[in-house]
A and B are shown apart, each in its own frame.
Chain A
Amino acid sequence: MTDSKYFTTTKKGEIFELKAELNSDKKEKKKEAVKKVIASMTVGKDVSALFPDVVNCMQTDNLELKKLVYLYLMNYAKSQPDMAIMAVNTFVKDCEDLNPLIRALAVRTMGCIRVDKITEYLCEPLRKCLKDEDPYVRKTAAVCVAKLHDINAQLVEDQGFLDTLKDLISDSNPMVVANAVAALSEIAESHPNSNLLDLNPQTINKLLTALNECTEWGQIFILDCLASYLPRDDRESQSICERVTPRLSHANSAVVLSAVKVLMKFMEMLPKDLDYYGTLLKKLAPPLVTLLSAEPELQYVALRNINLIVQKRPEILKHEMKVFFVKYNDPIYVKLEKLDIMIRLASQANIAQVLAELKEYATEVDVDFVRKAVRAIGRCAIKVEQSAERCVSTLLDLIQTKVNYVVQEAIVVIKDIFRKYPNKYESVIATLCENLDSLDEPEARAAMIWIVGEYAERIDNADELLESFLEGFHDESTQVQLQLLTAIVKLFLKKPTETQELVQQVLSLATQDSDNPDLRDRGYIYWRLLSTDPVAAKEVVLAEKPLISEETDLIEPTLLEELICHIGTLASVYHKPPSAFVEGSRGVQHKRLPPRAGSGESTESPDVGQSGPSEAPPAVIPSQGDLLGDLLNLDLAPPTATVPSVQPSMQMGAMDLLGGGLDSLVCSSPAMGAGLGAAPAAMPASLGSAPAVGGGLGDLFDLGGGVGMPTGSYVAPKTVWLLAMKAKGLEISGTFARRGGIIQMDLSLTNKAMSVMTDFAIQFNRNSFGLAPAGPLQVLTPLSPNQTIDVSLPLSTSGPVMKMEPLNNLQVAVKNNIDVFYFSCQYPLSLLFVEDGKMDRQVFLATWKDIPNDNEAQFQIKDIHLNSDVASNKLQGSNIFTIAKRTVEGQDMLYQSVKLTNGIWVLAEMRIQTGNPNYTWMCWRRPHVRECVSQNDSPVIS
C-alpha cells in the first residue's frame, strides 16, 4: 500500500471529484477519498469546502476511517462551527461505545474541537469518562479537562471538573495520576494565586509512589510538579530527595534533568553540615556527565543547564573539567557551550590543561568558535592569576599568526588583562602596535586605543598613533570615538607640552562636529575639567581604576535562582525568565528557590560551597573598560555654578565655545534651567492658552516656569489618542517630547475595562521620518481596572521611511492581552529638530541666497508679546537656532536654522514688530516639509 500517491493529485476540479468519491457507496473508495483530503490538508490546500461530505463519513465502524475524519474535523471545525454540530451526535454515541479505545478517541477528539456549541455537549460525556472503569479512558479524560479549560475556564470550574481531576491524583493507575498531574499543573499556571495543586505531604507521597511506576513521560510530569512544592522542613526535604535520586539513572535525559531540578531546589533547605548533603552533591556529578554522551540536541540542552548549575554550585563538577573538552565532531552549538563551561571550571589545578586545549581550538576553522576560544584564554588569565603570564604569551603566539580576527580578538582580551594586572605586561605593547593597521573592528580598535592612552608615557609615538586614528574620526563608531577622546586626554595630561594641538582637535571634533550626545557630553566634561583645574583633571582622568572582577558574564543571582527552578525547560536554554518569551498570563509567576537552611549556614565548612555565588556575590564590573562609568562618579554640581575661568597656561583658542557650548550642557541638569527660564518667566500667563491641538506652540513659552523640564524643548500636553470605547476599555493619551537629544513618546495608559491588561507592545507604521520605538514598551506590572500608567517610550529615527499625509502623521498599533488597537496621531515637527542644528554663519548666508523663490513660504503668527531676544532664547530651547539678528526700520529680523533628524535643513527669517510679530518662514528644497514646519512652528513660537 503506497499512500504517497495522494500527495500528487494536483488536477483542476479536484474538489468536485473528491466530493463525488466521498459520497460513493463503496467503503474503500470513501476511505481513499478521505485520505486524499487529508493529504491536501497537510500540504496547506484549503479543503474546507468538503466539510459536510467528510463529516458524513464519520458514521462508520472502520476505526481508521473514523480517525481520519476526526483529524479533518479538528482542523476545520472552527471555520465551519454550524456544520460541526452535525458531528456531535456521533461523538456522544462513541463516548458510550463498548470499546474503551473508541470511547477515549471520542473524548480526546471532542476536546480538540474549539467550537462553543460542541463544548456544551462535551461536559456530560467528559464527566462519565473521568469516572470510566477503564484507565485508558480516564487518562485521556484527564487531559481533556485541560483542553476544555483552555477553551472555557469558567465552564470547567462551574462543572466541578477540577475537583474530579484532583481526585484522579489518588487513582490506582500511574498513568492516570501522571496525566492528572500534568493537566492540573497547566491549569494552575493560569491561576497563579489559586491553590489548585494543593500539594501536601499526603499527595506528595502519592506522587512519589506513582513516580516509580509510570512511563518516562509521566515521570517527567510528576517531577516537574514536585519541583514546585515547598517542603515544610529539612527532614521532609531530605526524604523527598532520597526518593528522587534513583531517577538519576534513568535512560531518558529529561527524567534525569527534572530530577536534578528537584534535587537542586530541595538541597537549598538541607543543612550543609549534614552528611547527606555531601552525598547528594557527589551523586549529582556522574549523571550530569553522562548527559554529555546523549545526542547533540540534548547535549546542548544539558550544557545550557550545566552552565547554570556550575554557577550555582561550582563544587559539583569541579573535578570534571576533561569531559567538557571539545570534540572534533561536535556541532558548533555544543562546542560553544562547552567552551563557556570550561572557563567557569578553570582553576589553578587544571589551568595548564585548559590552556593547552584552548590553544588548539584557536586554530580551528569556525570563526565564532575561534574568537570565543581566544577570548577564553583572556578570561583564564583574569580568573587564575598564576596563569596570566602563560596566557599572555599564548595570546602573543596567536597574534603572530596574523590571522585577522584572531589578532583583533586577542587585542580585546589583552586590554582586559591590562586592567586586571596594571603595569605588568606592558612589554607586549610593542607587538600590539605592530598590528595597528590590521584592526578593522570597532571593539578591537577601541581596545587598542585604550591601551595606547593608558600607557601613553611608555609609548614614544603615542601621539602619532592616536593622531592617525583621528583623521577618520567621523567614520568611527561611537565606541571608538569615545575611547579616542579619552585616550588623547590621557595623553595630554601625561605629556602636556607636545600634544596641545591634538587635544584641542579632538575636543572640538567631539563637541562641535558630532551629533552624538554621549560624545559631546564627555567632550564638554573634559574640556571643562582641563580649563578649570588641570590638577583635578589629572586626578579624575588618570585615577586608579577599579580592578575588573575575575568572574565575567555571571548571571545575576536572582535570575539565576529563578532559572534553577526552571532546569530542563526552555527558560534554562534561553537563560531568560519565562515571562521574557511566553505570552499571556502563563509563566508570569516568578519561581524562587526555597529559603536557605538556617542551621549550618554559619558553621559552614570552608571547602563546601564557599564559592557559591549566592553566598558572596562578587562585585561584577563589566570587563569592557568603560571609562564613562568612572567619570560619571564626578560631582558635577560645583562647576556648573561657577563661571568658567580661562587658564592662561592652557593657551586654548575658541574659548567662546566653552561659554556657548556649556549652556547646552547645562540644560541637561535641571538646576540650570534658570539660564533659559529667566526671561520667559515674565511671560503673560494667557499665552499658555494658545491652541494646543497637534502640538500647540504657545506652550513652549510656558516653560517659563521651567519646572521639571529637563531640557528647554517644548512639550505639548497629552491629548487622547485612543478612546476607551474603541479599544475594549484601553484609553491612551499621549504627547511627544525631546529630552536630552532623545525623542520620547509619553503615554498614559488607562484601563477602563473590568479585567486586568497585560503584555503591552507597540509598533509604528512606516512614517515620513522613520520614527520607530527604540525599545519595547515597558509596562512592567499588569494594568488593573481603573489604573493609569505613565510610560515614556524612547524613539529612534532609524525606522523605515514612507511619506505620510499629512507629513507628521504617525500610525500606531498597540497590543495587549486582549487585542490589537490602531490609532494615528500627529507629532510636532519640532520633535525632529536636532541639537546641532546651528548652521555656520557663512554657510547660512550662502544657502540663504540659493533658496529658490518657490520654496519660500510666509506665515503669520499673531498675538505674541515678546521681544526678539526672548523669542530667540525660547526657540533655541526647541533647537531652532538664531544665527544672526538685524534691526531694520524698527523691525527685528532673526535668521534661524533648523536641522531635521534626516539631515534636511530649514532656514528661516523672523520679523518682529512691536505688538504684531510677523514671521516669514522659508525653507529649501522640500516643499512639503516646509508646509509642515510652518504648521508646527507657529505654535512653537506663539
Chain B
Amino acid sequence: MIGGLFIYNHKGEVLISRVYRDDIGRNAVDAFRVNVIHARQQVRSPVTNIARTSFFHVKRSNIWLAAVTKQNVNAAMVFEFLYKMCDVMTAYFGKISEENIKNNFVLIYELLDEILDFGYPQNSETGALKTFITQQGIKGQHQTKEEQSQITSQVTGQIGWRREGIKYRRNELFLDVLESVNLLMSPQGQVLSAHVSGRVVMKSYLSGMPECKFGMNDKIVIDKQGKGGTTDEPGKSGKQSIAIDDCTFHQCVRLSKFDSERSISFIPPDGEYELMRYRTTKDIILPFRVIPLVREVGRTKLEVKVVIKSNFKPSLLAQKIEVRIPTPLNTSGVQVICMKGKAKYKASENAIVWKIKRMAGMKESQISAEIELLPTNDKKKWARPPISMKFQVPFAPSGLKVRYLKVFESKLNYSDHDVIKWVRYIGRSGIYETRC
C-alpha cells in the first residue's frame, strides 16, 4: 500500500511529508526531488522507480504530489487517490497553491491522517469529512453522543457521501448536461470519426435523504418500454432515443440495479457533483460543417476559402465560435476578408484565427484569404494540418434528453412536485477538425 505521501513546491521543497510505512525513509523525499522534479528532461512516465522504490506523481499547477511505495500496490488506486486528495483539498481551501498549502498544513495533516490509514485509503468524501474535520477543530468537545455516532455511522456507512439532517427551505435541483463533440472530417465532407463524451452534473439542494431516479432517452430503456405497450408511438420514440456506448456513475448510483434494470437510482450528495459520464458514437448532430477550399497559385501564393454552415434549429444560437486555419511556415503575408466576425493572421501560431461571437442555426458564413509565401528550396511539402473549430451550442449534440428526475423523500413532507428542477444542455467542441 501507499508508504508515504509528499507535497512539493515547484522548487522541490517539501511542504507536506507524511510517512505511513516503515520501509520509506526520509531519503525517499530527496530521491524524488533529485530524480524527477530536478530532472533535466520532460517527464517520461508518471510512475518512476528509484532504487526499488516506486513514486507516483501528479501535478496541480506548480505543486507536485507524490505517493511512494515499496510494494506492488494497485497503481490505478494510487492515482485515483491522489486525484481525490486534490479534490478534498480544493473543497476545503480552494486552489491548490503553495500559499494555500502552507496556510493549511495542519489541516492537511489532519486530513491525511483520516483519509489514509497505514496507506489504505479510507472514506474521502468531503461531505462526510466536513462533519468532523473542521478548521476550528474544537467541535469535538461540544458534540453530543448522538451527533458523534451519527458522524461515525456516516463515515463508515453505506451512504458515506451524504450526512443526515440536511434542511432546505426551498428544495431545488439543477441538472447540467455537458457534452463535448469530437469530429475528424475529410476534405470531401466524409466523417472519419466522431464521438460525444458527455457528463451529467447535478447540483442538489434537497432536504433529508431523498431517493432519486433519473431517466433519459436511453435506447435500451425506451425499447423495453415500447415492448411493454406504452402510449408512445414506437417509431417516434425509436428516433428520439439514443444509443449509449458506455457510461460510468458516481458511487452513489446503485450499479447492480443499473446492470439488471438499467434504471439509475441513488441518494445524491449535497451540493455539486458529477452524476454520470457517457460516450456515444451513433447519430451525432454535428453542429457545424466546415467546407475548405485551398488553391495553390504558383509557388508563392495560396488562396484559401472556408465556408462554415450551422446545422441546427434556426431559433438556437451558437456562441464563442472560433475557426483556426493553419498557414504554411514560410508565410510572408496574409490578406483576409470575412463577412462576419473578426479574423486575424497570427504569425506566432502559424494560423488565421477567425472569431464569431454568435451564429444562429441553418446559416452559413465564409472567409477567404490570400496567403503569400516566401520562396524556399525546402523540398518537404507543407503537411497541411487540419482546420480546427471551437464553439458552444445550447443543446446536446448526442441527442440526449433528460426525461425525468424524480425525488422521493418519505420522511419529510415534500413531494416530487414541490422540488424546483432546472435542466440545461451545453454542447462544446472537443477536437473538431476538418482536413484540408
Q: List the interface of chain A (C-beta within 8 A of B).
A: 1-4, 6-7, 35, 38-39, 42-44, 61-64, 67-68, 70-71, 75, 98-102, 104, 108, 111-112, 114, 134-137, 139-140, 143-144, 146-147, 150, 173-176, 179, 182, 186, 212-217, 220-221, 224, 243, 245-247, 249-254, 256-258, 286-287, 289-290, 293, 295-298, 300-302, 322, 325, 327-328, 331-333, 360, 363, 400-401, 566, 568-574, 578, 581-583, 586-587
Are the CB atoms of A42 and B277 closer together than 8 Å? Answer: no
Residues of A within 8 A of B380 (CB): 401
A42 to B259, CA, bound (A): 47
A99-B148 contact, Cβ under 8 Å, with A215-B251, A221-B120, A582-B72: yes
Q: Which stretch of B50-58, B296-304, B322-330 is in the interface?
A: B50-58
* Those of B94-147 within 8 Å (CB) of chain A: 99, 102-106, 109-110, 113, 117-118, 120-125, 132, 135, 137-138, 140-141, 143, 145
Residues of A within 8 A of B157 (CB): 135, 173-175
* Those of B238-282 within 8 Å (CB) of chain A: 245-251, 254-256, 258-259, 274, 276-277, 279
Q: Which stretch of B40-48, B215-223, B337-345, B421-429 is in the interface?
A: B40-48
Closest to A356 in B: B192
Q: Which stretch of B76-84, B205-213, B225-233 is in the interface?
A: B76-84
A38-B13 contact, Cβ under 8 Å, with A251-B250, A581-B49: no
Are the CB atoms of A250 and B251 closer together than 8 Å? Answer: yes
- Cβ of B10 within 8 Å of any chain A Cβ, yes or no, is no
Find B258's partner among A99, A249, A290 (CB 8 Å cutoff).
A249
Are the CB atoms of B137 and A64 closer together than 8 Å? Answer: yes
Residues of A within 8 A of B256 (CB): 212, 243, 246
A585 to B262, CA, bound (A): 45
Are the CB atoms of A67 and B26 closer together than 8 Å? Answer: no
Number of interface residues of B (CB under 8 A): 96
Find B117's partner among A64, A140, A586 (CB 8 Å cutoff).
A140
Are the CB atoms of A297 and B255 closer together than 8 Å? Answer: no
Question: Chain A's nearest CB lies how many Å from the CB of B91?
Answer: 16
A246 to B257, CA, bound (A): 8
Q: Which stretch of B14-22, B346-354, B362-370, B389-397 is in the interface?
A: B14-22
Find B122's partner among A2, A217, A243, A568 (CB 8 Å cutoff).
A217
A573-B47 contact, Cβ under 8 Å, with A301-B76, A566-B72, A586-B72: yes
Question: Chain B's nearest CB lies how many Å from the CB of A146?
Answer: 6
- Cβ of B160 within 8 Å of any chain A Cβ, yes or no, is yes
Are the CB atoms of A136 and B141 closer together than 8 Å? Answer: no
Residues of A within 8 A of B29 (CB): 44
Are the CB atoms of B79 and A298 closer together than 8 Å? Answer: yes
Find A251's partner among B13, B75, B153, B274 (CB 8 Å cutoff).
B274
Question: Chain A's nearest CB lies how many Å from the CB of B431?
Answer: 7
Are the CB atoms of A101 and B44 closer together than 8 Å? Answer: no
- Cβ of B152 within 8 Å of any chain A Cβ, yes or no, is yes
Closest to A98 in B: B145
- Cβ of B85 within 8 Å of any chain A Cβ, yes or no, is no
Given A70-B113, A212-B256, A331-B43, list of 14 further CB < 8 A pairs? A3-B103, A3-B106, A42-B17, A44-B29, A104-B152, A135-B153, A143-B117, A144-B118, A182-B120, A254-B80, A297-B58, A297-B82, A325-B193, A568-B77
Are the CB atoms of A298 and B80 closer together than 8 Å? Answer: yes
Are the CB atoms of B124 and A570 closer together than 8 Å? Answer: no
Are the CB atoms of B251 and A587 closer together than 8 Å? Answer: no
Question: Chain B's nearest CB lies how many Å from the CB of A935?
Answer: 38
Are the CB atoms of A42 and B279 closer together than 8 Å? Answer: no
- Cβ of B71 within 8 Å of any chain A Cβ, yes or no, is yes
Question: Chain A's nearest CB lies how many Å from the CB of B382?
Answer: 11
Are the CB atoms of A63 and B140 closer together than 8 Å? Answer: yes
Are the CB atoms of A250 and B249 closer together than 8 Å? Answer: yes
Question: Chain B's nearest CB lies how many Å from the CB of A114?
Answer: 6
A68 to B107, CA, bound (A): 10
Find B80's partner among A44, A104, A135, A253 (CB 8 Å cutoff).
A253
Question: Chain A's nearest CB lies how many Å from the CB of B326?
Answer: 12
Most buried by B among A75, A258, A293, A587: A293
Q: List the interface of chain B (C-beta within 8 A of A).
A: 1, 13-17, 19-23, 26, 29, 42-47, 49, 52, 54, 56-58, 69-77, 79-83, 99, 102-106, 109-110, 113, 117-118, 120-125, 132, 135, 137-138, 140-141, 143, 145, 148-149, 151-153, 155-158, 160, 193, 197, 245-251, 254-256, 258-259, 274, 276-277, 279, 379-380, 383, 431
Are the CB atoms of A1 and B135 closer together than 8 Å? Answer: yes
Find A64's partner among B81, B138, B158, B255 (CB 8 Å cutoff).
B138
A333-B46 contact, Cβ under 8 Å, with A220-B77, A401-B380: yes
A42 to B14, CA, bound (A): 7
A572-B75 contact, Cβ under 8 Å, with A249-B247, A297-B58: yes
A255 to B83, CA, bound (A): 14
Are the CB atoms of A249 and B83 closer together than 8 Å? Answer: no
Are the CB atoms of B152 and A217 closer together than 8 Å? Answer: no
A252-B80 contact, Cβ under 8 Å, with A99-B148, A101-B132: yes
Find B141's partner among A38, A42, A61 (CB 8 Å cutoff).
A61
Are the CB atoms of A38 and B109 closer together than 8 Å? Answer: yes
A569-B75 contact, Cβ under 8 Å, with A140-B117, A175-B157, A333-B46: yes
Question: Chain B's nearest CB lies how many Å from the CB of A29?
Answer: 16
Find B248's partner among A144, A257, A287 (CB 8 Å cutoff).
A287
Are the CB atoms of A254 and B76 closer together than 8 Å? Answer: yes
Residues of A within 8 A of B104 (CB): 3
Are the CB atoms of B277 and A62 closer together than 8 Å? Answer: no
Find B75's partner among A147, A182, A570 (CB 8 Å cutoff).
A570
Question: Chain A's nearest CB lies how many Å from the CB of B402?
Answer: 19
